[in-house]
Amino acid sequence: MKNSIYTFFLVAIMVLPACEEECSNPDDLANDKYYENEIFNEPFLDIYGNWELYEVSGGIHGIGDGLKFDLLQIRKYGIYTFIKNSAVLEHGKIVIDEQTEESLKISFSPDEDSEVFMFDSEKIVILQESDSLFLQSPCCDRYNYHLVRKD
């Protein structure tokens, strides 16, 4: 009986990490999994790429928070992935809440097979040049994310 228990735990320890890496990697998502065509207006096409988080501001006391993720990857068409230490925290689709030629408000919507990481998912997108991305919360006491292009 003891050998059966040890064997079970040994197999579980070997299989779970392999499944985590294989099952959580969204790189194989087709560009049209969520949308068939481009979702962003021309001024916001520079949003695609890899974005490294360097600062979190805002919050209840305005002092920000720790860096909960390292990288935000945004791919065509509207596919996002939050990554920390090369592990996928969440992936899914970007939902356009409001968009004009001058402004963009989005929400991150996790895929049905993804964990939920970004609970404060509603953000106003501010692109500065083509190398800085600011994800601003639309209201009070929420976090803002400052990112720089990593491509």
Instruction: Kindly report the three-state secondary structure assignment for every residue of the chain.
Output: CHHHHHHHHHHHHHHHHHHHHHHHCHHHCCCCCCCCCCCCCHHHHHHCEEEEEEEEEECCCCECCCCCCCEEEEECCCEEEEEECCEEEEEEEEEEEEECCCCEEEEEEECCCCCCCCCCCEEEEEEECCCEEEEECCCCCCEEEEEEECC
Share of the chain above pLDDT 90, in %: 67
Q: Is the pLDDT of residue 15 over 50?
A: no
Q: Which pLDDT does position 130 carry in this prediction?
A: 86
Residues 22-67 have pLDDT tens digits of: 334 566 677 889 999 999 999 999 999 999 999 999 988 777 788 8
